[in-house]
């Protein structure tokens, strides 16, 4: 049988959703729609059946992420995952490409030139019991992000991890609850977003100057979520993980952060990425 490699279209999203269901990943059809609206995907098809998929997001002219790399459970061992990855990597030969690998996929990515940078701690609870008080650092004010601040938040987001994501930031401000902390001169010390994802709610990205700012942003977005499913993916090297555990958000997974190219080095004293948008989009 001949395999067909082609661009992913909106008509493939339902079959992609079924692939994530096989793996017991939490993605909803709406999450797939959002992923494709911001990126570009490739699929493998055989006799009209989708056997695998992968999605690439270009964040500026030098950085990209890859995610939703999935092969049908009955098609393992045919090298389809490698072919999907090579197809996407050919599109961005000079980019620094980042992904978050499962233990199963790590070996493949290493063969493709990716190196390990660290780990992500995936924290979640099926019913949030402890809603923390909002402790705003002295001199700062909490408020909703405004459309006219897209460029500013995009620059701060890029400072944290090197990815230029204006479309994503615009989407988070216009379609979801995005809050920020700023001082009297309107200098922004951090921002974070709350949105529907998977089984309930996800908080991320969380871009902040330090831990107290990150905690205040997260706490503000948790207000009203008692009893709800909540998920946050945080860099294991940053101190947010242990605080989330005290709130009852258990660590349920620890994917490996990998990069092909030059890793991003945040400027000294700049903002850091305490929380991901998603593991795929980082």
Average pLDDT over all residues of the chain: 96
Q: Compare 75 and 45 and report the one with higher pLDDT.
A: 45
Q: Which residue is it, tokens 């207000």?
A: 223
Cα angle value 213/174/160 (rounded, 5°): 40
- How far is the CA of 30 from the CAs of 56, 167, 204, in angstroms? 18, 17, 17
Residue 1 in this model has a pLDDT that exceeds 90: no
- Pair type for strands 177-182 and 188-197: antiparallel
What pLDDT score does 54 carry? Answer: 97
Model confidence over 190-240: pLDDT tens digits? 999 999 999 999 999 999 999 999 999 999 999 999 999 999 999 999 999
What pLDDT score does 275 carry? Answer: 98
| Of 161, 135, 165, 162, residue with least CA distance to 153 | 165
218 close to 249: Cβ distance less than 8 angstroms: no
What pLDDT score does 10 carry? Answer: 96
Helix locations, 115-175, DSSP H? 150-161, 166-175
Residue 180 in this model has a pLDDT that exceeds 90: yes
Say yes or no: do domains 4-94 and 123-275 share a fold.
yes
Residue 187 in this model has a pLDDT that exceeds 90: yes
Helix 80-89 to helix 103-111 angle, to the nearest 10 degrees?
Answer: 50
Q: Where are the domains of the chain?
A: 4-94, 123-275
The second-level CATH assignment, the architecture, of 4-94 is 3-Layer(aba) Sandwich (3.40)
Radius of gyration of the chain (CA): 19
Residue 208: CB atoms within 10 Å: 29
C-alpha to C-alpha distance for 133 and 116, rounded to whole angstroms: 36
Model confidence over 228-267: pLDDT tens digits? 999 999 999 999 999 999 999 999 999 999 999 999 998 8
What pLDDT score does 19 carry? Answer: 93
C-alpha to C-alpha distance for 252 and 248, rounded to whole angstroms: 12
Model confidence over 105-151: pLDDT tens digits? 999 999 999 999 999 999 999 999 999 999 999 999 999 999 999 99
C-alpha to C-alpha distance for 61 and 46, rounded to whole angstroms: 33
Provide the CATH topology of domain 123-275.
Aminopeptidase (3.40.630)
C-alpha to C-alpha distance for 33 and 6, rounded to whole angstroms: 18
Helix 166-175 to helix 150-161 angle, to the nearest 10 degrees?
Answer: 130
């Amino acid at each position: 049988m001949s395999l067909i490699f082609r661009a992913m279209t909106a008509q493939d999203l339902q079959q992609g959703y079924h692939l994530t269901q096989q793996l017991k990943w939490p993605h909803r059809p709406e999450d797939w729609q959002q992923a494709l609206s911001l990126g570009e995907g490739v699929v493998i098809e055989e006799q009209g059946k989708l056997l695998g998929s992968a999605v690439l997001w270009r964040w500026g002219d030098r950085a990209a992420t890859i995610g939703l790399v999935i092969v049908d459970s009955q098609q393992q061992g045919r090298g389809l995952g490698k072919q999907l990855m090579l197809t996407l990597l050919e599109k961005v030969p000079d980019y620094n490409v980042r992904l978050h690998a499962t233990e199963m996929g790590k070996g493949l990515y290493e063969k493709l030139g990716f190196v390990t940078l660290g780990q992500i701690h995936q924290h979640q609870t099926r019913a949030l019991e402890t809603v923390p008080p909002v402790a705003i650092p002295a001199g700062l004010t909490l408020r909703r992000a405004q459309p006219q601040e897209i460029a500013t938040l995009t620059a701060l987001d890029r400072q944290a991890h090197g990815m230029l994501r204006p479309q994503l930031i615009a989407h988070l401000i216009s379609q979801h609850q995005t809050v920020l902390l700023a001082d009297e001169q309107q200098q922004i010390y951090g921002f974070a977003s709350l949105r529907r994802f998977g089984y309930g709610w996800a908080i991320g990205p969380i871009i902040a100057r330090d831990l107290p700012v990150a905690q205040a942003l997260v706490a503000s977005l948790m207000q009203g979520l008692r009893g709800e499913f909540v998920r946050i993916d945080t860099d294991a090297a940053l101190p947010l993980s242990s605080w989330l555990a005290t709130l009852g958000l258990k660590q349920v997974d620890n994917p490996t952060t990998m990069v092909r190219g030059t890793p991003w080095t945040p400027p000294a004293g700049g903002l850091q990425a305490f929380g991901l948008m998603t593991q795929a989009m980082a």
